[in-house]
Structures are given as structure tokens and as C-alpha cells.
Amino acid sequence: MLASWTVTGIVVGPQTTAESGDASAAPSRAWRVALEHIESQLLSGDLRPGEHLAPERTLAADLGVARSSVREAIRVLEVLGLVRTATGSGPKAGAIIVASPAGGLSEVMRLHVAAQGFPVADVVEARLVVEPAIAAHLARAHGRKAGDAPDLGQASALLDAMDALDLSPAEFLALDTRFHVALAEASGNTVLAATMAGLRDSIEGYVLQAVPNLSSWAATSARLRAEHRGIVRAIEAGNDTDAAARVHAHVAGYHAESRTAAVAAPAPSVPNSGRDGAADPGSAP
């Protein structure tokens, strides 16, 4: 349920302040009563995207809790990307159910990253599992009818921006990280996109911290640009095996070169789908 997941996932609001108006629940848990009520309405279909929640006063009276408890529950739902709130009057005011799970998941992951809950080795290992699969999926989609091909326009635009010669390492790596998120977004899978967006700060942080360990930033950045272009070419060629292998080599290669940690993750095994001629992912394309 949303309530129990929220409590273990993030800390939301004061949980020990007494609320004298809460009659049916312990004061420190009254907001969870409101949260579970709203969750049950979502699960039953009584509340749908685009519809308004009942006013705070009405919910508080119906549930026997204080309005502050209802307000706290709505704040949790807003953080999770399930409601949008607006003040004033009119059809857009109040709390409205929205379908934005990606935003909420990303925020929760970012909080864990900020709390240093994700070790660098774990982030890299997760990337080695997720990102080759994303690249393979994009390549297979490109191998179908042209009208169904995923849009790589944003990813390509980011690669063009990375070609600027006056970029600092921080600027370059911010664009680099955004490129990897853009590939996930191009997949059309909201869970994958949210996962990569949530990891974005962690990825950008560890790759930037590793720059002083590199023997030559100029050589490394040139190699990274070439590898990025090779990944996009493999995707556009519809070669899922090559695309997955290139992403794996790209992520693992920078990690190994910067000597941040040792990662023993085998290259992914992705069915070739009948296409041949995959390039060696270890060489710059």
C-alpha cells in the first residue's frame, strides 16, 4: 500500500506532533488514515486522473481527523507525483489526481542518492544491467517499421552539444548523463525513464569525482564522444547486440579507466535477432 511504502521510502512531515482533532486514530498516525482512504479510492476507481479530491474540510469530517492530517497526506501524494495542488478558485484549484508516477519515483530515488544510500559500485552495476537492455530495446524498435522507430532527436542534440570544445568536465559530464537519461526516455518505458532520471544525480556525481584520476581528460572526452556516436549508430542500424555491447563497454570502460572501483559484470547476452556485422565494442567507432 502507498502508506506503508511511503513511510519506509521517505520521511514525510512531523510524525510525533499531537493533533487534538483526530478522534479515530493515534495523533501521530492520523495523516496515514487520510492517505489510505485516498489510496483505496484510487484502487477502486472512484478517483481517476483529472478528478479533484474532496475538499480538506470534507475529508477531515468524513474520516474523523484534523485538516492538518489531510493536508499532510496530500503533501505526500504530491511528492509521489500522484496529485497536483493549486490555490485559488476555479476548475484548476484544489488537489487534482494526475498520472505522473515517473516524477514521484525519480524524486524518491534522488532523496536516497542525496542521503548517500547508493554506493558507486551498486550504481555502476545497476547501469550495466539496465542501460544495455534499454539500448537493445531501442535497436529492436528501430529494426521494425520506420514509423515505429523511437525518437532519438533529443539524444542526438545532446551529442552535438558535447562537441563544443570549450566545455568544462562538469558541463560535458552533465550533458553525458542527460544523454543516457534521454535514451531511457526514448524507450517509452516510464519506469526505466524514471529509474534513470532518479539515478542521474548519482551518475553525474561519481563520473565528475573521477575526473582527477584520468590521465588525460582531452583523450577521455574524445573517446566518450566517439562511443556515444557509436551507440546511436548501432541503435539506428537496428543491431540490438551491438548496441547493448557498446553501452556496456562504455559504462564499464569509464569506471575502470578512472579507477573508482572494480566491477566484475559480464557483458550482456542479447539475442542478435538475425543481424550480423556487430562491431567490436571495445574499439572507438
Q: What is the pLDDT of residue 262?
A: 36
Residues 243 and 118 grouped into a single domain? yes
Place of cell 517509452: 188
Judged by DSSP in three states, 275 sits in: coil
Identify whether residues 161 and 223 lie together within a single domain.
yes
Q: In terms of domains, do 49 and 148 share one?
A: no
Domain of 252, CATH number, reads 1.20.120.530
Domain match, 112 and 239 both = yes
Per-residue b or e along 25-53, where b marks 16 or more CB atoms closer than 10 Å to that residue's CB:
bebebbbbbbbbbbbebbeeeebeeeeeb
The answer to the question of residue 262 being in a domain is: no
Q: How far apart are alpha carbons 279 and 231 in whole angstroms?
A: 11
Verify that 129 and 240 share a domain, yes or no. Answer: yes
Separation of alpha carbons 279 and 56, rounded Å: 60
Q: Which domain holds residue 159?
A: 103-257
One domain for residues 141 and 71: no
Among residues 57, 84, 99, the one where a domain terminates is 99
Does residue 270 form part of some domain? no
Residues 112 and 59 placed together within one structural domain of the fold: no
Query: How many domains does the chain fold into?
Result: 2
Residue (of 155, 65, 51, 151) closest to 94 by Cα position: 51
Shared domain check, 116 and 80? no
pLDDT in the model for residue 25: 47
Question: Looking at residue 66, which CATH number applies to its domain?
Answer: 1.10.10.10
Cα of first residue to Cα of last residue in the chain, in angstroms, is 48
Domain annotation covers residue 272: no
The last residue of one of the domains, among 99, 125, 140, is 99
Spell 103-142 as b/e; 16+ CB within 10 A means b.
Answer: bbbbbbbbeebeeeebebeebbbbbbebbbbbbbbbbbbb
Residue 275 lies in a domain: no
Q: What is the pLDDT of residue 181?
A: 93
Cell 478528478 belongs to: 51
Residue 18 within any structural domain of the chain: yes
Same domain, 91 and 159: no
Residues 242 and 109 in one domain: yes
The answer to whether position 113 is within a domain reads yes
Give 175-200 as a DSSP string: HHHHHHHHHHHHTT-HHHHHHHHHHH
Q: Does residue 161 fall inside a structural domain?
A: yes
For the record, the C-alpha cell of 110 comes out as 534522488
Residue 285 counted as domain residue: no
Tens digit of pLDDT at every position of the chain (285 positions): 444 443 333 334 433 333 434 444 455 577 888 888 887 887 787 877 778 888 888 988 988 888 888 888 888 777 766 777 776 555 556 677 765 555 556 666 666 666 666 788 888 999 999 999 999 999 999 877 656 788 999 999 999 999 998 999 999 999 999 999 999 999 999 888 888 888 887 888 889 889 999 999 999 999 999 999 999 999 999 999 999 999 999 999 999 998 754 333 445 555 444 444 444 433 333
Same domain, 170 and 94: no
Q: What is the DSSP letter of 281?
A: T
Same structural domain for residues 62 and 174?
A: no
